[in-house]
């Protein structure tokens, strides 16, 4: 089995969280290009986003929907685990008071260069129902 040593799990998670919070479109695209392989994909709620262009649209939509207003910040729980080319951790939407409103387990498969080939969001804490 191939051994991937760079980048570190912490660097991957830090960059992954940063891309969802990044307000500047050019910076967001640069982070995407560094994180995902050119044909990398994200799978969320039965939808696939493949390639940097689709990933940019996906991240931008999520930023506009959740972060731009200041309602939430994307954070990561302190639970990163790695085995060779697989990285897992929990990503969260946290309100300004730090209360977590939503969370998903992220499962990543890295390519030989340490970039994301596939990433899956598996919701572990859905948004609370609004009354």
Give the pLDDT confidence score for residue 128 in this predicted structure. Answer: 80
Pick the CATH number of 9-125 from 3.40.50.300, 3.10.450.50, 3.40.50.1000, 3.20.20.80: 3.10.450.50
Which candidate, 54, 52, 49, 59, places its Cα nearest to that of 120? 49
Interval 21-50 mean pLDDT? 97
Kindly tell me if the per-residue pLDDT of 53 is higher than 60: yes
pLDDT 10s digits, 58-82: 999 999 999 999 999 999 999 999 9
Give the residue extent of every domain in the chain. 9-125
Distance CA 3, CA 71 (A): 40
Confidence of residue 4 (pLDDT cuts 50, 70, 90): very low
Hey, is 103 helix, strand or coil?
strand
Give the pLDDT confidence score for residue 6 in this predicted structure. Answer: 58
Exposed/middle/buried for 79, CB within 10 Å: 0-12, 13-18, 19+?
A: exposed
Kindly tell me if the per-residue pLDDT of 130 is higher than 70: no
pTM (two decimals): 0.90
Confidence of residue 131 (pLDDT cuts 50, 70, 90): very low
Distance CA 81, CA 86 (A): 8
């Amino acid at each position: 089995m191939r051994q991937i040593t760079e980048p570190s799990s912490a660097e991957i998670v830090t960059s992954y969280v940063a891309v969802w919070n990044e307000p500047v479109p050019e910076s967001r695209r640069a982070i995407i290009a560094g994180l995902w392989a050119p044909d990398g994909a994200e799978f969320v709620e039965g939808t696939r986003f493949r390639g940097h262009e689709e990933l940019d649209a996906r991240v931008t939509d999520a930023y506009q929907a959740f972060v731009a207003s200041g309602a939430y910040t994307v954070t990561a729980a302190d639970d990163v685990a790695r085995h060779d080319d697989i990285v897992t951790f929990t990503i969260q939407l946290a309100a300004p008071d730090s209360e977590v409103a939503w969370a998903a387990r992220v499962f990543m498969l890295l390519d030989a260069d340490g970039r994301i080939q596939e990433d899956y969001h598996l919701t572990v804490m859905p948004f609370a129902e609004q009354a």
